[in-house]
Structure 1
Amino acid sequence: MSARALRSFSRSISWIPTGKPQRTLAKEASASGIGLHSGASSRVRLLPAMAGEGRHFIAGDTKTRVQATVGNCVDSVLSTALSNGGIQVRTVEHLLSALEALGVDNCRIEIDGGNEIPLLDGSSKGWVDLINSTGLCIATDDKGLERDRSVPKLLEPMHLNRDDSFIVAVPSTETCISYGIDFPKVPAIGSQWLSFTMNEDKYTKEIAPSRTFCIYEEVQKLLNAGLIKGGSSENAIVCSIKDGWLNPPLRFHDEPCRHKILDMIGDFSLLAESGNQGLPIAHILAYKAGHSLHTAFVRRLLEDMNFE
């Protein structure tokens, strides 16, 4: 990562009141499934939370709270993980993506039977359906008062790069993500680009159903590394270098690129604090990025907010 990429701009991002109250789930909902990397079964309960509590996980016998903020993000391969006091929660990105996109600002997430969020079908559609089945309501704090929902707005350009991978964000009047991927050795995937303007209905229809993907020739290497123990053709789309997609049909011709946008929304949600929005008002351009670069960029945004 270049030193220039870590440059800060004074007051390049700030919180803007939306004039709308924070929201939470109207009632409890739950889902069960297999974790992608652990292969363990777990049950997740989504519960209403008070205004200002934000999104947080409850995991482990100690019932430790792990806040869904970038400050709790820890190194993890092929997923996003959070930790607090030695208690870790793994593969949180798909659930957080759905919560962020649907405006669930405050939510208590309890995990039983392991520390990894179930993969479901490899997309965030199952979480979107679950959230929609419960409905949302205005969240109030411990005094019964509503709180305004704020959103981070980018005021100056920012960028971060690692080798030929980069993320650039520029000021905009709306939240837009342009994402590019490139797999020159995998012709069925190849080079893909997609621009998406954030909208709850469009997310539900065009981004949420996109599933995680892997390269068939890399599967054994990942298994040897102790990863994707719970992966299967039921929760991921698998592409071979020679034979193309092994479990068609795709839900979209550019499903891998759409899934990268899904992941980015989940990772950028970690900028959220105290029940506010995480995904900033900005045009975000990413190329060959991943969870690690996503969260590194979010850390830069957070540092810039605290810059004096």
Structure 2
Amino acid sequence: MSARALRSLSRSISWIPTGKPQQTLAKEASLSGIGLHSGASSLVRLLPAMAGEGRYFISGDAKVRVQATIENCVDSVLCTVLRNDGAEVRTVEHLLSSLETLGVDNCRIEIDGGNEIPLLDGSSKGWTELIKSTGLCVARDDKGLEMEKLVPKLLETVHLHRDDSFIVAFPSSETRITYGIDFPKVPAIGSQLFSLIVDKDKYTNEIAPSRTFCIFEEVQKLWDAGLIKGGSSENAIVCSIRDGWLNPPLRFPDEPCRHKILDLIGDFSLLAQNGNGGLPVAHISAYKAGHSLHTGFVRHLLEI
């Protein structure tokens, strides 16, 4: 498949060959757990898929196919939601983050017991370990042929901001993410900055173990809104404005900032299509962003 067969109207990105074939899982794998917002138990099965199929979810009694692309993304603040033909899949970002970074280009993802991906321990460590233990193989299409993997490369500087939050991406020969957060009213978190060149080993060791976090004083408001029904000290790190971290120890001193990079990779993976890569070759710098700004930036890339 040529780059011209992909979305090529955007002047900001070009689809470039990697010289490597698209990959998929070597065999089926599964994990079960509790959904963060629904509180429901579900089993997720990851299955091999053909080259060119990309990553997609099978959800609901009607077994609707929900492709993991930006076109199916619904604007949401606290998690990433995909929707197609009346079917919805929630909290997909941690799983997609692992699949994207570890090179699982084509994957069928089946969910039994609801429509939310389990939060596990609040990080993508469980998904990353599962994928690495399962192994990958070359994906082939329905004719038994390989397809070369393409990735998006940024051609010009692109930026998007909302109030005092922003994402800006610069052309680069490698994929680097720099992320900053600032919680002036929560001293134990404060201002943090983390930057790394993204590769499988660095992701596995420095990003995947980073857990989602929340502010203790905001928990009741989220519960009252019908959210985080499955949240607990077992699947998130909780910080109090007055008392600091309530369930230490942290895995990294800057674990909240690292987790934001984990989320960004999962959200940017929605740029992927037809079994090609999603995370652009670029230096991506984000400050006080979140899921809505992440996915908004991906849409912006395709519109300019």
Q: Find the residue that maps to 1:83 and give its secondary structure.
A: strand
Q: Using the alignment, how far apart are the partners of 1:54 and 1:270 within structure 2?
A: 10
Aligned-partner Cα distance in 2 for 1:38–1:82? 15
Residue 110 of structure 1 pairs with residue 114 of structure 2: no
How far apart, CA to CA, are the structure 2 residues paired with 1:286 and 1:75? 18
Structure 2 residue matching 1:30: 3-state secondary structure: strand
- Secondary structure of the residue that 2:232 maps to in structure 1? coil
Residue matched to 1:210: 210
Counterpart check, 1:181 vs 2:165:
no
Contact kept? 2:151, 2:277, Cα under 8 Å: yes
Summarize the Cα distance change of 1:10–1:142 in structure 2 as closer, same or farther, 3 Å threshold.
closer
Matched residue, 2:80: 80
1:1-308 alignment, distance < 5 Å: 11-304=11-304
**Separation in 2, partners of 1:289, 1:222:** 19
Could you say what secondary structure the match of 1:180 adopts?
strand
Contact 2:74 2:83 in 1 (8 A): yes
| 1: CA distance, partners of 2:42 / 2:13 | 38
Give the aligned residue type for 1:104. Answer: V
Asked if the contact 2:74/2:82 (under 8 Å) is kept, the reply is yes
Q: In structure 1, what is the equivalent of residue 6 of structure 2?
A: none
Q: Distance in 2 between matches of 1:183 and 1:11?
A: 36
Structure 1 residues 10 and 273, CA gap change in structure 2 (3 angstroms):
closer
Q: Give the aligned residue type for 2:240.
A: S
SS in structure 1 at match of 2:238? strand
Deviation at 1:37, TM superposition (A): 0.3
For residues 74-129 of structure 1, what are the alpha-carbon distances to aligned partners after superposition, in whole Å with 9 as ceiling and x for unaligned? 12230000000110000000000000010000000000000000000000000001
Measured on the aligned residues, the alpha-carbon RMSD in Å equals 0.9
Letter in 1 for 2:95: L
Alignment partners' CA distance in 1, 2:23 and 2:157: 30
TM-score by length of 1: 0.95
Distance across 2 between alignment mates of 1:276 and 1:137? 15
Match of 2:127, SS state, is helix
- Cα distance in structure 2, aligned partners of 1:25 and 1:55: 11
Q: Given the two structures, how large is their TM-score scaled by the length of structure 2?
A: 0.96
* Displacement after TM superposition at 1:12 (Å): 2.0
Check whether the contact 2:57–2:109 (CA below 8 A) recurs between aligned residues: yes
Whichever residue aligns with residue 87 of structure 1, its letter is A
For structure 1, the 5+ residue unaligned runs are: 1-8
Distance of 1:125 and 1:227 partners within structure 2? 23
The CA distance in 1 between the partners of 2:187 and 2:294, in whole Å, is: 26
Aligned to 2:4: none
* Cα separation, 2, equivalents of 1:150 and 1:251: 34
Q: Which amino acid aligns with 1:228?
A: I
For residue 181 of structure 2, give the secondary structure of its aligned residue in structure 1: strand
The secondary structure found in structure 2 opposite 1:118 is coil
Report how far residue 301 of structure 1 moved.
Answer: 1.3
Give the drift of 1:302. Answer: 2.2
Residue 10 (structure 1) shift? 6.2
Q: Helix, strand or coil: the match of 2:297?
A: helix
